[in-house]
Structure 1
């Protein structure tokens, strides 16, 4: 998608984030009515199209091939992680990301083989939303984006920058770029098939379960697994039975 699309989406999010739903709204999710509607839309698209195709992808391709595809896109992410680790002044993590990208690109057939992990070079994935969080930009309200799924206002505003850091977006041939983007989507969705099936079985309210799991995951990502004591806790409630 073009930078203009992401810029327009970010502007829409900023306008939307100013619209609260009243005094009884969840402080982390003041846009819950909108988000629930978008969640239902995304879930319908997923069940009708994405999940069935991802299931075929998983069942048809051998595990080593799927692992190679996953490794390839993770290697591209390592290049962007190097930039964001550098912006966060994380010298060791930036060095590891650069080493990983170099080793896997040149010795791992473009990243299909994860040689760096065998060398015990740690992966620390970072995106621009995490970089903004590192420098003190608050997450803002929870937001469910069309087709893209869970996000926050901060992460959504960061999307145009992350899009520029996506090496696939730099592929000049449109058909090749679209094919790689689709392959990446299928690879990621196929890895989540079992988790989504479990979610359907155990969560009384999949929306709140997904929301709280995402917000906790992003909090841990920004603080490298060690959020400050004054961060808002994510505790189960009667309305929000996180298991």
Structure 2
């Protein structure tokens, strides 16, 4: 039964790659953001803002209020360490072995000497030496872009926010197969370890990561509110520009 479900998922994902690849030339617009779904996107954006104002932001502010800064840093380090599994996998898929080796070393050092990633020792090593073990940013959306698949129309996803056709597909692949929190290698290779795959374990961890991520964006959001005349356009343009930079390996985050 599990194999049949996985086969159906793979078939859907492969179909998505084919459709995105066929549409890539049509979807890209060098004269500006390609946003043919803007009316729908703005409606979803407004919905996301409403949910954020009434749920996520208050929870994030409460989290910031009760969580000491050192402990908040430790939590952020832990989730960043888990994300390195996604980074390694996509670095290999892109044949970017330098990134894969550096991130693999980072994951090994932080997971062992850094106590399961609670302490970011790898970044301290990078700061104190010429060895570059700094945090990289790779995901399946970037992997598709690496192989020439266009981003497609800009899309605002319910609750998840800014994306594109390509990156939405990338999120699905990362979530199903790579992310240790939502599915990832633990679900594929350790499927018999019930305490790891239990929803009672995964859901609280995923919720904690979402709250921690939202809390980190509180200061950024304040600047955004002050700077943007049209918050929707500002976020759209910033998102698309950043994604282009990441795909082209021109960002320092790589």
The offset of 1:83, in angstroms, is 1.0
Equivalences for 1:89-100 in 2 at 5 Å?
Answer: 89-100=95-106
Q: For 1:38, which of 39, 44, 62 is the aligned residue?
A: 44
Q: Whole-Å Cα distance in 2 between the matches of residues 151 and 219 of structure 1?
A: 12
TM-score (norm 2): 0.78
Which secondary structure does the structure 2 equivalent of 1:158 belong to?
helix
Q: Whole-Å Cα distance in 2 between the matches of residues 97 and 27 of structure 1?
A: 32
Q: For 1:74, which of 73, 80, 94 is the aligned residue?
A: 80
Q: Which runs of 5+ in 1 are unaligned?
A: 21-25, 227-243
The offset of 1:159, in angstroms, is 2.1
Q: Whole-Å Cα distance in 2 between the matches of residues 139 and 188 of structure 1?
A: 24
Q: Whole-Å Cα distance in 2 between the matches of residues 113 and 160 of structure 1?
A: 29
Which secondary structure does the structure 2 equivalent of 1:119 belong to?
helix
The offset of 1:136, in angstroms, is 0.5
What do the CA deviations read for 1:144-174 (whole angstroms, capped 9, x no partner)?
A: 0011100000011122210120101243121
Q: Does 1:181 align with 2:193?
A: no
Q: Whole-Å Cα distance in 2 between the matches of residues 27 and 55 of structure 1?
A: 33
What do the CA deviations read for 1:101-126 (whole angstroms, capped 9, x no partner)?
A: 11111111100100111111122120
Equivalences for 1:56-135 in 2 at 5 Å?
Answer: 56-120=62-126, 121-135=133-147
Residues 188/201 of structure 1: CA separation in 2 closer, same or farther (3 Å cut): same
TM-score (norm 1): 0.82
How many residues align structurally?
Answer: 214
Q: For 2:173, which of 161, 179, 192 is the aligned residue?
A: 161
Which secondary structure does the structure 1 equivalent of 2:163 belong to?
strand
Q: Whole-Å Cα distance in 1 between the matches of residues 213 and 239 of structure 2?
A: 16
Residues 5/40 of structure 1: CA separation in 2 closer, same or farther (3 Å cut): farther
- In structure 1, the partner of 2:60 is 54
Larger deviation: 84-93 or 143-152? Answer: 84-93
Residues 156/198 of structure 1: CA separation in 2 closer, same or farther (3 Å cut): same
- Do the aligned partners of 1:77 and 1:125 also contact (CA within 8 Å) in 2? no
Q: Whole-Å Cα distance in 2 between the matches of residues 136 and 73 of structure 1?
A: 30
Q: Which runs of 5+ in 2 are unaligned?
A: 27-31, 127-132, 188-195
- Do the aligned partners of 2:33 and 2:240 also contact (CA within 8 Å) in 1? no
- Do the aligned partners of 2:56 and 2:211 also contact (CA within 8 Å) in 1? yes
CA RMSD of aligned residues (A): 2.4
